[in-house]
Structure 1
């Protein structure tokens, strides 16, 4: 038998001229992907190559020719620009974060203050496909804003070998999923190494078996993001593929993923000798780290279960994003016990007893959000409306208190400005607002300057970006046609879309509740709108359906079929393979952003925020964030389906309202232009949208709310209970034990109120109440 040939992969690292070495450092930090000057610097090297490699500066430097690099090394203008950008980068890294105390006095963060952030996905840049949608992009924006503000934060996640899929539309107009293996050597990510310079590889034990993982690191400005990878030779085959795919449907693989994520992250924190004061769980996927923390606190530090639970509660933040109970992460109790039963027993609990902490009324599943809520003092929904929905949904966890008093707050989402505002609009903002808004986006007074921008300048900036979007979409179609039909139909590419037409965008995950096909409810009426020669309208759609979501895939097909069957492919367009790059072009280039989910199933929604910051007007159902922003001057609301529970009736009502507002308000307003071709009243709404969205829905405001409401109070509580060898923790435990002993006998004896005249109180007036309580001998 012949011996099989062995293949070894080599990575040949390109050598940069000595005076261009700064480019390598810039390329390895994601700051360069959101800073407009850094983007322009890399684009200057080779624009076509930069676009080809998805604006990935690492790949660009690997592929650019030696001749071009030699030319740049002699280009004094380029060297000046590179040094200027590099100096800005160094100044950015040196910025020291601070916060305002209760007396509004500026204070720097304590040396021992650190937040650990956990998310299953991160949408950082299109060249790093380790995200699937809005949750991941929100996590990415969270890290970028924390970096901007200098908040001491470390982040953890998984490194997916294939990540999320690339979308292809086949000849039958159906979505196909293509998984491409990521080449990490050509991305801004590096392996962590130990003190001996070797790859940092470690293991966790599960059911008496070891699961090994490699640790990687991405530099997100000043924030380190640590990612775990099980695709290494040290693992058995059944464990190597744990980190292959994002959000696998197989429940056993899914629970293994989330255990590796949780246990591995806590183990890595130990290895790196990090000491977070606050742990922020972004969604329930990371809730298993509660079990690992309990095990460590009890087994390693000698606390009992109640004490360990109290430490975890006071130091844990949990953000829930899902407004439907069925959509939250849960596992079959038998599967959970199979993998985690012995872990739970190790800190003195039976699985059945501990399982009660992960149960909700009427559901036998092991609920990760329920576990997270019970072990988190700081819990929030992601919009005001979602907070109300969450209090109702999780009320069975604390049935003894009023629903309105459920300990869940609202911190409405926001987006990272520099990642989403177009470079053209950024330049305009810099001229009229100064650059302070980049670092102090929550300083509302700065945004007043938006109204001083001349109408023609803001309109020209928008139209320029619209033309760039159309050019980008045409290029995408050309690539797709070459792939599908060898180039047939390419001559008609330039007929797709027109920059003078009112353009409406709809781009998001194609989940059925988002109702992408609502616009097709009355096809004849829609065709009249599309084919109006005097005031034409065009629609652009983009989005992926989950591989297992046949309804979502069918929606994509319905949109494409409608366009072809009615010969409106030039103005009713579906853009293939939605990602952050497609999203960026659309939110910066369309005129109207359409959003029509079934209320209240949209927890927040951030795509409309990204659009609004670019002067795109939202046209949305009042769900998620939109009720907090809409004022009648910055967009339109779709309200006819309010309180209608019948889906068919609601669809007809809301579709009819969409048509009516398009016909009678939106289209006429857009085409009402002055002698210079500027729609003055439309531009007035654009400015108001930028002002309202920019000042209220930026990620800097979000981070400061987390900081003041959760992170700093949590750190202060941890400091308090840790004093004098945890004396305050032990005292608190005694108090709670004493309260529990007497609780059933404590009762109100009498309540009296000094009633004001006519039971009317003036603002600021004091109301005196006297309460007599039988405390059953409880010491005060």
Structure 2
């Protein structure tokens, strides 16, 4: 029977289009999915009565292949759900395009070190009786056209609520992790006699991006074609937009608690959506997951219990500097060995190593460090540097793909001076290698488009020094020269975007040449102090345990 997952009476349903639980379950593309996975892990640690709901994505996001010129091609990432989860007998239907689409669910149980378990439901339309077209709805994450995306969001939102009901759950809060799942509120209106106050009390909505393209919008013609129900259509027009369906607006209008994912992001969101009040809960990462084995051993020795109480990382000063440096050296050796075996770059263990890894897209500015090669060469003369990149460009992001090719060209142009590597097929395992193995974690987003960012938090957990534009979480985490370094002015500076960019470039090269390099090579004790500060002042706070406690007290209770 399916009631194996009903034992603890799950009360909080966490809906996310993608949830990154492990490399072998490739149902995630990047930050949103990894955050969702960390949310599941932290909830299990804390014993929260939470259940995750997502899509199965049988072909994953995509497997990235890069040729010798950095040209990206995408390949399906086939995997077998049966290797990791159990198919439940429960079945529900969602009407799409005037036909019933059958939906089943696979159960994955995440078990914490505390022995607590959080179940995750992976919704699947590859079910006998569905048409070939409908069976493919849960094949590819972010694949297909607008029609395919809306079908997926109908399965996630409407199908997810129905599946939870079918399984006997009595949910008190539905947490929408981004607008992809906002149609769950439509289903809740149906089930609650269209009572707006009842549904708003049930719903929590978190938005994750100031990028316009990150807020799904669908034409009313498409909505009517797929939903096909006049009363539902009128509800969506009323709460989701008079001229087109905006999934973020739908979530905002049907939730009593709404939040951004950093203090700055709350301000930006209120400008993007005037008239709505946003709260802010700054993201965190799951500490145990994102600490490499060498630092885990160190923390276990000096800070017993840290894995379930990451606040204990505030006591990192009890660890001798030499042991911190040795643990970092071991993590760095693992990364450099991996890079050399994959890319043949002949990098060494002693050179200051800078890492940049995230989704490759325009606002992340992956080639920013190459903006002035003359100044970059001058930096390298002050002290040798080597650069490691990784990241996928969305299959339809032509500009993102061109950025990867540009990095390959810069690597060729500078190969006799600066060693540069680009690692293909960025995933959770490679991410852990990078955030623990580089010396400096570089982040150069175009402000104010970094809602939060979490990779730098992972780096700090491993004593890696952050060097980032003061946007998103880094505005809260950066104490200049103490926990790392900022690139460019604070947000409140009264300058044009062009002037800000020039200030950022100056800061990038100057701080590398006059702060980072001399400290790394000549004042190692001061460098290790910053590494410790990163753990003490960043890792102890920017973790998912703190984040989930705030969701419980501010949004769920």
Point out where structure 1 has 5 or more consecutive residues left out of the alignment: 1-109, 195-199, 299-304, 399-405, 478-492, 674-678, 713-780
Distance 1:180 1:709 in 2: 38
- Map residues 293-312 of structure 1 onto 2, 5 A cutoff: 293-298=188-193, 305=194, 308-312=195-199
**Mapped contact 2:8–2:49 kept (Cα < 8 A):** no
1:183 Cα offset (Å):
2.4
User: 2: distance between equivalents of 1:649 and 1:601?
Assistant: 17
Superposed CA RMSD in Å reads: 1.9
Which of 77, 85, 93 is equivalent to 1:189? 85
Q: Which residue of 2 aligns with 1:238?
A: 133
TM-superposed deviation, 1:570: 6.8
In 2 relative to 1, CA 465–634 (structure 1 residues): closer, same or farther, beyond 3 Å? same
- Helix, strand or coil for the counterpart of 2:192? helix
State the SS of the aligned residue for 2:540.
helix
State the structure with bigger RCO (CA 8 A, min sep 6), 1 or 2. 2
Matches within 5 A, 1:270-349: 270-298=165-193, 305=194, 308-342=195-229, 345=231
Structure 1 partner of 2:483 = 634
- In 2, the alpha carbon distance for the partners of 1:111 and 1:572 equals 51
Partner of 2:405: 557
8 Å CA contact retained: 2:186, 2:236: no
- Output aligned runs, 1:175-574, within 5 Å: 175-185=72-82, 187-192=83-88, 194=89, 200-221=90-111, 222-298=117-193, 305=194, 308-342=195-229, 345=231, 351-352=233-234, 354-359=236-241, 364-395=243-274, 398=275, 406-435=276-305, 437-441=306-310, 443=311, 446-477=312-343, 493=344, 496-530=346-380, 532=381, 535-568=383-416, 571-574=419-422
Distance 1:456 1:514 in 2: 35
Q: Is the 8 A contact 1:510 1:553 kept in 2?
A: yes
- TM-score, structure 2 length as denominator? 0.94
Q: Which residue of 1 aligns with 2:526?
A: 681
Q: Using the alignment, how far apart are the partners of 1:268 and 1:475 within structure 2? A: 46
- 2:41 corresponds to: 144
Shift of 1:207: 4.2
- Deviation per CA, 1:281-312, whole angstroms, max 9, x where unpaired? 000000011111111222xxxxxx3xx21111
Partners of 1:297 and 1:462 in 2: CA distance: 55
The structure-2 alpha-carbon separation of the partners of 1:575 and 1:569, relative to structure 1 and needing over 3 Å to count, comes to farther
Q: What SS does structure 2 have at the residue aligned with 1:292? A: helix
CA spacing shift, 1:664–1:318, aligned 2, 3 Å: same
Q: Quickly say closer, same or farther: Cα 1:448–1:578, change in 2 above 3 A.
A: closer
Distance (whole Å) between structure 1 residues aligned to residue 477 and residue 48 of structure 2:
27
Q: Deviations over 1:673-711 (max 9, x none)?
A: 5xxxxx101001110110111221010000000000011
Is the CA contact (8 Å cut-off) linking 1:167 and 1:576 kept in structure 2?
yes
Deviation at 1:376, TM superposition (A): 0.4
- Distance (whole Å) between structure 2 residues aligned to residue 582 and residue 353 of structure 1: 44
Further displaced range: 565-574 or 382-391 = 565-574
Counterpart in 1 of 2:456? Answer: 608
Across the two proteins, how many residue pairs are aligned to each other? 544
| Distance in 2 between residues matched to 1:580 and 1:226, nearest whole Å | 21
Are 1:161 and 2:58 counterparts?
yes
Select between 364-373 and 128-137 the one with higher mean Cα deviation. Answer: 364-373
**Cα deviation, residue 648, structure 1:** 4.6
Deviation at 1:662, TM superposition (A): 0.5
Counterpart position of 1:715? none
Q: 1:651 offset after TM fit, Å? A: 3.3
1:694 counterpart residue number: 539
Cα distance, 1:645 vs structure 2: 6.5
- Name the SS for the 1:321 alignment partner: coil
Q: What is the correspondence of 1:648-667 to structure 2 with a 5 Å cutoff?
A: 648-667=498-517
Instruction: Work out the CA distance in 2 between the residues paired with 1:535 and 1:598.
Output: 27
The match for 1:589 among 424, 427, 437 is 437
Distance 1:423 1:573 in 2: 24
Give the Cα–Cα distance (whole angstroms) in 1 for the partners of residues 338 and 96 of structure 2. 48
Distance, in Å, in 1 between the alignment partners of 2:86 and 2:292 is 29
1:641, distance to aligned residue in structure 2 (A): 8.0
Query: Is contact 2:360-2:401 (8 Å) kept?
Result: yes
Contact map agreement 1:641 1:653 (CA 8 A) in 2: no
Instruction: Please report how far the alpha carbon of residue 622 of structure 1 lies from its aligned counterpart in structure 2 after TM superposition.
Output: 0.5
Q: Displacement of 1:228 after TM fit? A: 1.0
- 1:568 & 1:646 partners in 2: Cα distance? 37
| Contact 1:203–1:213 under 8 Å retained in 2 | yes
Aligned twin of 2:3: none
| CA drift at 1:359 | 2.0
Q: What secondary structure, in the 3-state scheme, does the structure 2 residue paired with 1:696 have? A: coil
Q: How far apart, CA to CA, are the structure 1 residues paired with 2:224 and 2:417? A: 53
Listed as ranges, the matches of 1:10-159 within 5 Å are 114-159=11-56
Q: Give the stretch that moved more between structures: 683-692 or 323-332.
A: 323-332
Give yes or no for contact 1:465–1:589 (8 Å, CA) kept in 2: yes
State the shift of 1:352 in Å: 4.4
Deviation at residue 609 of structure 1 after TM alignment: 0.2
Unaligned runs of 5+ in 2: 1-6, 112-116
Which is further off, 467-476 or 351-360?
Answer: 351-360
Aligned partners of 2:73, 2:237: CA distance in 1, in Å?
39
Partner deviation per Cα, 1:144-178 (whole Å, 9 max, x = no partner): 00000000001111001111111111243211111
Q: Aligned partners of 2:181 and 2:235: how far apart in 1?
A: 21
Q: What whole-Å deviation, never above 9, does each CA across 1:4-57 have from its counterpart, x for those lacking one?
A: xxxxxxxxxxxxxxxxxxxxxxxxxxxxxxxxxxxxxxxxxxxxxxxxxxxxxx
3-state SS of 2:288 partner: helix
| CA-CA distance at 1:280 after TM superposition | 0.4
- Under a length normalisation based on structure 1, what TM-score does the superposition of the two structures give? 0.68
* CA distance 1:172–1:220, change in 2 (3 Å): same
| Deviations 1:449-504 (CA, angstroms, capped at 9, x unpaired) | 21111110000000011001111222333xxxxxxxxxxxxxxx3x5211101111
